[in-house]
Structure 1
Amino acid sequence: MKYFAGEYDVAVIGAGHAGIEAALAAARLGCKTAVFTINMDAVGNCPCNPSIGGTAKGHLVREIDALGGEMGKTADECFLQSRMLNRGKGPAVHSLRAQIDRRKYSTVMKHKLELQKNLELRQAEIVEIEKTEDGYDLTTRMLAVFHCKTVVIATGTYLGGRIFVGEVSYESGPDGIFPASFLGASLKKLGLPLRRFKTGTPARVLRNSIDYTDLEVQKGDEPPQPFSYETESLGENKVDCYISWTNDETKQIILENIHRSPLYAGKIEGIGPRYCPSFEDKIMRFKDKPRHQLFIEPCGLDTEEMYLQGMSSSLPEEVQLKFYHTIKGLENCVIMRPAYAIEYDCVDPTAMLATLEFKDFPNLFGAGQFNGSSGYEEAAAQGLVAGINAALKVLGKSPLIL
């Protein structure tokens, strides 16, 4: 039986990078705010690369920081290595990138939400959104009903999430966490124009199973540069990253097994957001290229997982083992987590205003991968804008349009 559980000025659905910034912004502007997440241990999770910033992204982190957001400060607190990319080009494209401790980042962000005045962090799956005269009613899977003046949807890749590894597929959010299985149907009933997107992530491999002998070492800048203008010093870089290359044998294995990729077998109906191609997609698009670069990066100081940036895949697990083992340094690598693709529901962003409020649904906002974005930084930037505008709507003030 449903029961009334409370009311908020601003409710944020999802506590990923978009949801965090939206919730903090709304609370800091004085609104009574709640952020709902399926799993509180996944607040600020980095299910893909263990880094913040990079080309076209580092700029966004700086802008988030300038507007009072939290991503840059937390990246500085959790940094392992910092590098300014594109130094060989003009200053307009210099872009800061920080390798971070992904577990620490999640822990620090969760604690910041817990400490924030006017903000409540709640573990609950929102399964239904209903329009009311003065806002929206949110129903949880436990049948609690919350009345909210404004709502920010920041569901990431959880909404109708489905994992693909070769011929295997199953309902799931990233990193084996439960998906949001019911909210999508409610949003369609409400009238939102949903569509399917897909993205993916590479395998994680055991650190001591890598042969570093002939790998190119990639060190951080000295002194390392922080993201936040409030960070006085980062200290020293704590880790090195490494570079390797694929070869003709890698390429041949991909081509022989391309029919087993769910993307090419027609099992994945979603298209990919920009900048997130799978490795098999690179091979098919650039068949003339003899090799592709990959980066081997640590996921944290207290884990032996290494991330293979540039090697995202949805091929079967045994095919992944074969092609990873053709790469210099990875000949005997042990896969701790296989690569996978994930398909999820998102919305047509042309249905929104520049404030990220829906044109046909006043007081309802969207942010991050729910809007079809790509990457932690773009999600956080959109979350900040959506959270600020949701709060300004409640306060009866003019919107922020950048």
Structure 2
Amino acid sequence: MLSPRARRTTNRLLALVAGGLLLGAAAPVSAPAAPTGRVTVPAPGAGGWTSNGSARIAGTGLQLTRTGAHQAGSAVYPVPVVTDGLKAAFITVIGGGSGGDGLTFGLLDPARATPTALGAAGGGLGWAGTPGVAVTFDTHRNTGDPSGNFIGVTAATGDSSRTLATTSARVPDLRSGPHAVAIEVSGKTLSVWMDGARLLNATVPDLPATAMPAFTGANGGKTDNHAVRDAVITAASYAVAPPGPNGWAHNGSAALSGTGLVLTDAVRDARGSAVQATAVPSARLRARYTARLGGGTGGDGLALVLLDAAKATPAALGAGGGGLGYAGLPGVAVTLDTHRNPGEPATGFAGVAVGATGSLPRYAAASAALPGLRTGTHAVDVSVTGTGHLLVTVDGTRALDTEVALPRNVRIAFTAATGGHTDQHTVRDVLITY
């Protein structure tokens, strides 16, 4: 049980985080109204989290380890959130054993990790070996650690080690009882408070733009119970995991290549799609990505597709050539088209397609006032307004603003195709929020 003092401190921290305010030391505050335009991640005890290893839901809290040796546990929320503006408050409870090793609050990179992510035991704290950034609460001194009682910010490597970006040993005894923690992210900067006092402020270049929140903990030869209670996590918005291991189906010629999604190579008569299995609301959806079209003889183009989730499956793949891998699919597409087919306005244009006529997209709006689409890379920004308009910006210039009838729930997809003319069609740096 929390002491009355710890409970009062916790309530202040939770109120501040819920209200979207920076935390400071210590005067009592009244709880402000919840901010608009933010999302609240369900607490682990409310369900929806994936528990791995030794982690278990315990009432309304989360038990990451018991006092058995060499245990490691993690709990991961499988829906990514935007990290800029993220706020988290929770209670840590560590103790009951011989003193090792600690726990973390992690932000897993959804482009490289899945909800089953679990890192190394012992000094790995259940985090090391997973991709992303974590705040660590460490109670055992391992090689390279500043003490046997410290907090830090770490970016994990690909093995069982971890790189500490910054640490602070000027912290309360982490094993002495419940401690109220608050974390806030601004851009790439992480700030950490404990029991009302700010202990860390660190800029972390590797912090992903979107992340799956996670808690991890571990024991080695020395042990403790590691638990988290009263977690409140809020963010600016939820996000769709970028193309990678989280729920994306790759169809036809589509395949991952490093950090990019290659929809077609510069070969004739190729078509590919990548479709996210999870349906999301179309209202106020926003998608940003970088597109590269080139390397061949000039055809045909690629599309971001908002598939009707009630009618399309993750295996969706439309017509090739001028169909851009979209024609024949249910939903709306934003296209970058580099080959002029009958009825199209130019050799290079952006369009909003609302279906197909035969094997070609049927356009509700199009714009040829664009730089050469087959030269360099192009930053695309697509957003759905509150009034049902689809806004399309290419390289910072508004290309299209058109009213469309979107399905209520959509599956996000990228498609592309070549015909007699060819190009490689690649998408990178995908950030989709809702």
Q: Comparing both structures, which one devotes a greater share of its residues to helix?
A: 1
If the length of structure 1 is used for normalisation, what is the TM-score? 0.23
Q: Comparing both structures, which one devotes a greater share of its residues to strand?
A: 2
If the length of structure 2 is used for normalisation, what is the TM-score? 0.22
Larger radius of gyration: 2
